[in-house]
Structure 1
Amino acid sequence: MSAARAPRALVVGEALVDVTRKPDGSVAEHPGGSPLNVAVTMARQGIDTTLAAQVGDDHFGSLVRAHLERSGVTLDGTGSSVPTASATATLDEGGAATYEFDLHWDPESLPDPADFDLVHVGSIGAWMAPGADAVADLVRRAHASGQPVGFDPNVRPALAPSIPVLRQRVFDLARLSRFVKLSDEDAEVLADGHGDPLSVLRELATHGPVLAALTRGGESAVLRSGDTEVEVQVPQVEVADTIGAGDTWMGTLLTELLLRGWTDRTAFTAEELRELGKAAVAAAAITVSRPGADPPWRGERLPPRG
């Protein structure tokens, strides 16, 4: 990677519009989707980021394109003859979201991972047929050529295949990825009643990733590399909603790894894991302090409470 240019990242997966329904009955539209949010996070923090996604020539597509352009993300369209996807997020009084989706995933082509310093995949694009097979092939090619891969399954049970099939796909991708993040909700689904989120993290960490992380909402995050495991406390902020928090966390982790030149590491020390975790939780705290998936720009600081 040349010191004369910013690191280049490819993010692959869905872009959609979050239609947010609040308890007071108001409705807002925000571009989103986990891969889009990760790409926006990375671009806003100084990474030359390309998003490979299906974005239609429609109202929602215009919202997505404008959002990506404002954030400095390059869109690599994988087919625009279909409607842009949407997700309706219904918020409860505490700001937590439940989702309903209207989307599909069938990319016509994907960029060459060898053109980038890091590839990130995840969410619906990594496990929804038929496009998930194209994503898995891209990850295999990236792994074979030595390109670092980030992976966040971001499981949505209402859209996912059966749990055994989903679990197999997640673990297959994790074996080829260096950096993997799970939420506690992801881990509970993958455990399928056998074990707790930490046990799933520890199991997954033995299957290939150099760094595996578990986020737990407002509780501490856990980062693990080999046998080294640390907890990082989450800053306390006034929560507007939780949309995009995990994506900001993952995008910030990958950004820090790229900017520090750590993507080729084979292990991390406890102090290094804490440094990475603190950057990720701080960025995610900014995102939850404002409505919608609105990741921070590099240099932003946590807002004061009250």
Structure 2
Amino acid sequence: MTVLVIGEALVDVVQREGREPEPHAGGSPFNVAVGLARLDVPTVLAAQVGPDRYGDGLRWHLTDSDVSLVELDPVPARTSTAAATLADDGSASYEFDLTWDPAALPDPADFVAVHVGSLGTSLQPGAALVADLVVSADVMGVPVSFDPNVRLAVEPDPEVWRRVFAEIAPHASILKMSDEDAATLFPGEDPADLVRRLAADHGIVAITRGGEGAVIATAGAFASVPPADVRMVDTIGAGDSFMAAMLAWCATYDWPSASELDATELTDLAMYASSAAAITCSRPGADPPRTIDLTP
């Protein structure tokens, strides 16, 4: 039942006006791994972590959330960081200092599902290994989930992100992106139309829309859900919590194929994921909920 998550683990150094910088564990795959494990899904994170105090903090955070860490070689000289500056509405912009050059990745055959995304799929040279692993997982029949989580602060060329999506998405049965990701990858296309179009080829597809909720589709069903009520602190890690909760829901139902889900089930899935994201928005930094937080 163990899920493999691959990609960047870093420290978000959050700057709020009038306060000292605050370090928080982060990185999209890291956050997804933590979110999954906190929702009682056995999870392994494959990442590069440095031998410094930031790296020690990441290791402690993973252990505290019951995530198993596979530390990929070569060991970087320092742990990757992202300087996050918060706007008045709680949204964050980022500047990155990171390394992603693993020599090898775990075998997907040893896992029930694989999640990839963000810088782990776009930053070379490691992205090439991730792309090869995704193909292998697909051939083996191991479900793949993908969140492009576009970061133009690292790679400003939208065409690079579009090429990554075109390379990874055909092998993924679960896709999630934000409306900002969609605007970069598919400019001008309405999110509701886009999820329907992508779902014709890619299984379960969801697009989060911040204060407008989320849309989700399969080839045969569609659902739109409103945003969950939230006392906003910041949006850091909210999309990753949505992704983790999507995967946890699918794990609970033994990884159903898209054809098995109707609109009612899609609504339940999206509401569960939205609730997880809302809880994360109510907390500083990427701090996803545990199962007990989502239990009525």
User: What is the TM-score of this pair, normalised by structure 1?
Assistant: 0.92
CA distance in 1, matches of 2:113, 2:256: 8
1:196, distance to aligned residue in structure 2 (A): 3.6
Aligned residue for 2:150? Answer: 155
Quote the residue 1:234 is aligned against: 227
Q: Does the alignment pair 1:83 with 2:78?
A: yes
Structure 2 equivalent of residue 70 of structure 1: 64
Secondary structure class of the residue paired with 1:218 = helix
Describe how 1:34-183 pairs up with structure 2 within 5 A: 34-79=28-73, 80-160=75-155, 162-183=157-178
Tell me which amino acid in the other structure corresponds to 1:300: D
Distance 2:96 2:267 in 1: 35
Deviation at 1:124, TM superposition (A): 0.5
* Residue 289 (structure 1) aligns with: 282
- Partner residue of 2:217 out of 224, 232, 256: 224
- Counterpart of 2:249 in structure 1 is 256
Cα offset for 1:96?
1.0
Structure 1's 81 and 104: CA in aligned 2 closer, same or farther, altered over 3 A? closer
Contact 1:226 1:267 in 2 (8 A): no
Deviation readout 1:205-225 (Å, 9 max, x if unpaired): 23x311000001121200010
Q: 262-271 or 145-154: which moved more?
A: 262-271
Say if 1:52 and 1:77, in contact at 8 Å, map to a contact too: yes
Displacement of 1:59 after TM fit? 1.4
Aligned partner of 2:262 in structure 1 is 269
Q: 2 CA distance for matches of 1:26 and 1:186?
A: 30
The Cα offsets for residues 36-86 of structure 1, whole Å up to 9 and x where unpaired, read as: 000000101111100000101011101100100100000001122331100
Tell me the residue number matched to 1:14.
8
Q: Which structure 1 residue ranges, 4+ long, deviate > 4 Å from structure 2?
A: none
The aligned amino acid for 1:279 is Y
Q: Distance in 2 between matches of 1:67 and 1:169?
A: 30
CA distance in 2, matches of 1:46, 1:209: 26
- The 1:169–1:201 alpha-carbon spacing in structure 2 relative to 1, beyond 3 Å, is same
C-alpha distance in structure 1 between counterparts of 2:257 and 2:57, whole Å: 36
Following superposition, the deviation at residue 265 of structure 1 comes to 4.6
For structure 2, the 5+ residue unaligned runs are: none
Letter in 2 for 1:216: R
Q: After alignment, is 32-41 or 93-102 more displaced?
A: 93-102
Stretches of structure 1 that go unaligned for 5 or more consecutive residues are: 1-6
Equivalent AA in structure 2 for residue 283 of structure 1: A
Q: CA deviation at 1:266?
A: 3.7
**Among residues 215, 240, 248, which one is paired with 2:208 in the alignment?**
215
**One-letter code aligned to 1:16:** L
d(CA) in 1 for partners of 2:216, 2:118: 20
- The number of residue pairs the alignment matches comes to 295
Q: Is the 8 A contact 2:9 2:49 kept in 1?
A: yes
Note the alpha carbon deviations across 1:140-166, whole angstroms, 9 max, x for none: 000000000010000011222632232
- Percent identity of equivalent pairs: 46
Letter in 1 for 2:174: F
Residue 172 of structure 1 and its aligned partner are, at CA, apart by: 2.2
Aligned-partner SS, 2:213:
strand
Match of 2:183 in 1: 188
RMSD of aligned Cα (Å): 1.6
Q: CA deviation at 1:267?
A: 4.4
Distance 1:98 1:162 in 2: 17
CA 1:185 to 1:215, structure 2 compared with 1: closer, same or farther past 3 Å?
same
Q: Contact 2:196 / 2:222 at 8 angstroms: preserved in 1?
A: no
The alignment partner of 2:224 has SS state of strand
Question: In 1, are the aligned partners of 2:214 and 2:226 still within 8 Å (CA)?
Answer: yes
8 Å Cα contact 1:157-1:189 kept in structure 2: no
| Structure 1 residue 194 displacement after superposition | 4.1
Whether 1:278 and 2:275 are equivalent positions in the alignment is no
- Structure with the higher helix share, 1 or 2: 2
SS at structure 1 position matched to 2:3: strand
